Amino acid sequence: MDDHDSPPTPKGSLRKFLEQLSGAGKAIGVLTSGGDAQGMNAAVRAVVRMGIYVGAKVYFIYEGYQGMVDGGSNIVEADWESVSSILQVGGTIIGSARCKDFRSREGRLKAACNLVQLGITSLCVIGGDGSLTGAHIFQTEWSGLLGELARDGKITTEQVQKHGHLNVVGMVGSIDNDFCGTDMTIGTDSALHRIIEVVDAIMTTAQSHQRTFVLEVMGRHCGYLALVSALACGADWVFLPESPPEEGWQENMCVKLSENRARKKRLNIIIVAEGAIDTQNKPITSEQIKELVVTQLGYDTRVTILGHVQRGGTPSAFDRILASRMGVEAVVALLEASPETPACVVSLSGNQAVRLPLMECVQMTQEVQKAMDERRFKDAVQLRGRSFESNLNTYKRLAIKLPDSEIPNSNCNVGVVNVGAPAAGMNAAVRAAVRVGISEGHKMFAVYDGFEGFAKGQIKEIGWGDVGGWTGQGGSILGTKRTLPGKYLEDIAAQMRTHSINALLIIGGFEAYLGLLELLAAREKHEEFCVPMVMVPATVSNNVPGSDFSIGADTALNTITDAFRSLLELSKKRDSHPEFCIPVCMVPATISNNVPGTDLSIGCDTCLNVIVEVRSSRLLKETTRQGSHRVCLSHSRRTGTGTCWMFQGE
């Protein structure tokens, strides 16, 4: 096969690692099962292309386990082009179904026979806990199933010996994020986007009419979607199955709503998980909450049930990247597996794709439901994981102001300043910092217009209610500038003395990082800077050292994703060449390459030599020759002008 017929080769240590893997002679089956989730197609694409790259055959298994049982045209070999242009497609292109036949041994016998006939002994299952449990049962029964098939004459003894073991790897595709062992499941982030889009739309009409809205979100018996959407939009109240409200919640909720209206807030948002219960395990319904608010407070109240809109739409950037990373890891796990390797599930821990024993995670997931049934709600929250517990505690701290008698005394005055270019999420960070600081008894001071405003004395004490409604607003309400503090050090020190500021929180990008270093270097001359100083990374460029993610980067990636989608719809047999306004750092260009599936990505620090140019041009020509309706390239703003050859016609 010629160079221009080959898929692009990864570089550096990853390439060396992959060169040691070989899938020659192996066949991998990939299927999606259970409820669909945005990002499943990205996972399928990653499995197919990674499998092909290492030399394995990869087969689509259409319609989940039902297709495996039925066989025939439901199991088809995939090629590189068969997964082209599917990253942006919601749902799953290979279909999904809940299969009763597979639950019986007879059905699993048929499935095993169909797989053996094609030599498939590696299975990648994308679905929820039920689908993954089925895969585990299938693996444990595999040798027995093959023995029975051989006795019945449906397969040969040679086939039994050659395909005597089945390796299984799972990826969790579920919008509910109800699987223990992983921080996020494929589809959850996209579902949250749908919810927040609805909340943002509802807020405008709610403010106009001073209404209360009760939003019911999906999740079955898991409250993750309700909890995180409540945290993201600053909801007044949230109902979760894992953490039911205490006795007397009706009165407490009405007091909270009326207090917020007294602060001149024109709307109230209440979010309800579809499986919400009270401490006696009795359901709490949206209509019940509406009736309570209308009866007790007389507010104009409406109920909105989001339903399956949360499953629809295109996947978010996060889900596309997460699914792609998990798909690659799943193939590596299958290639490294031995006959004794138990089924595993690819999970997300921190920012790393890890492998965990499948059944341990399934059993832990089932233990959550058992804890809720037995009303051990604290255990249920802990079993959901540290992320869920942390989000719950954060929501409580930010949504409910403690009585003055319960707030500790503190002599700390904290200044909050935004530095650098605006980034989505800056205002949410300021809101969180202000409310947590007030809860700890500190005085919080807003510094307007960055270090310049700091030097000019644009400083004002900010209260709990002052940051209400900031969560969903873009940009920087405090104002922000790229100016570094170097030439204002004396003035800033004087302002810190005047306002008795003895702690500083800087929210911003690389300029904030450099500014903090300048303040640290000036401590010898200005004792005012000898105070605790903390920086929170917030920049679309995601280029702050020591941080995997910066506030604003995810929103920027989603904006890039939307731009790509519009461009791809417009491009018919035409090259699309988007240029992103991202200074210096190439991270957004390279990351966003994985979001729409661009054919080539070039960053400002990419070294383009003649060989790379020739290989790249061949790749683009081959892409169009094989029937692609567009070639998509991305490059950072400061990429050298030498890349113009790519856009010259022949």
DSSP class per residue in 500-542 = T--EEEEEESHHHHHHHHHHHHGGGT-GGG-S-EEEEEB-TT-
Buried residues in 397-412 as b, exposed as e (16+ CB within 10 A): ebbebeeeeeeeeeeb
Q: Categorize the per-residue pLDDT at 611 as very low, low, confident or very high, splitting at 50, 70 and 90.
A: very low
Residue pLDDT, tens place only, 215-259: 999 988 999 999 999 999 999 999 999 999 999 999 999 999 999
Q: Categorize the per-residue pLDDT at 584 as very low, low, confident or very high, splitting at 50, 70 and 90.
A: very low
Half-sphere exposure (CA, 13 Å, Cβ side) for 248? 3
Residue pLDDT, tens place only, 514-531: 999 999 999 999 999 999
Burial environment of residue 14 by CB neighbours within 10 A (0 to 12, 13 to 18, 19 or more): exposed
Nearest to 30 by CA among 15, 42, 13, 17: 42
How far apart are the C-alpha atoms of 1 and 23, rounded to whole Å?
Answer: 17
Over 80: is that where the pLDDT of 1 sits?
no
Over 70: is that where the pLDDT of 621 sits?
no
Q: Could you count the other beta carbons within 10 Å of the beta carbon of residue 601?
A: 18
Burial environment of residue 305 by CB neighbours within 10 A (0 to 12, 13 to 18, 19 or more): middle
**434 or 629: which carries more pLDDT confidence?**
434
How far apart are the C-alpha atoms of 520 and 531, rounded to whole Å?
Answer: 10
Residue pLDDT, tens place only, 32-84: 998 899 999 999 999 999 999 999 999 999 999 999 999 999 999 999 999 98
How far apart are the C-alpha atoms of 126 and 611, rounded to whole Å?
Answer: 39
Percent with pLDDT over 90 in the chain? 72
Q: Please identify which of the residues 70, 129, 176, 189 carries the catalytic annotation.
A: 176
**Region 450-458: what's the mean pLDDT?**
97
How high is the pLDDT of residue 595? 59
What residues form DSSP beta bridges with 356?
345
Mean pLDDT of the chain: 87
- 300 carries an active-site annotation: no
In 509-645, at which residue ranges do the beta strands (DSSP E only) sit? 533-537, 600-602, 633-635
How far apart are the C-alpha atoms of 207 and 468, rounded to whole Å?
Answer: 14
How far apart are the C-alpha atoms of 335 and 327, rounded to whole Å?
Answer: 13
**29 or 310: which carries more pLDDT confidence?**
29
How high is the pLDDT of residue 409? 92
**Region 183-201: what's the mean pLDDT?**
94
Q: Could you count the other beta carbons within 10 Å of the beta carbon of residue 553?
A: 27
**280 or 13: which carries more pLDDT confidence?**
280
Contact by Cβ (8 Å): 353, 346: yes
Over 80: is that where the pLDDT of 12 sits?
no
Say which residues have a Cβ less than 8 Å from residue 199's Cβ, sequence separation at least 6: 215, 229, 233, 269, 472
**Region 167-181: what's the mean pLDDT?**
94
Beta-strand pair 352-357/633-635 = unpaired
How high is the pLDDT of residue 603? 52
The domains of the chain, with CATH numbers, are 3-185+315-369 (3.40.50.450), 189-309 (3.40.50.460), 404-537 (3.40.50.450), 555-647 (3.40.50.460)
- Judged by average pLDDT, the poorest of 133-137, 343-347, 493-497, 592-596 is 592-596
The owner of tokens 């390459």 is: 593
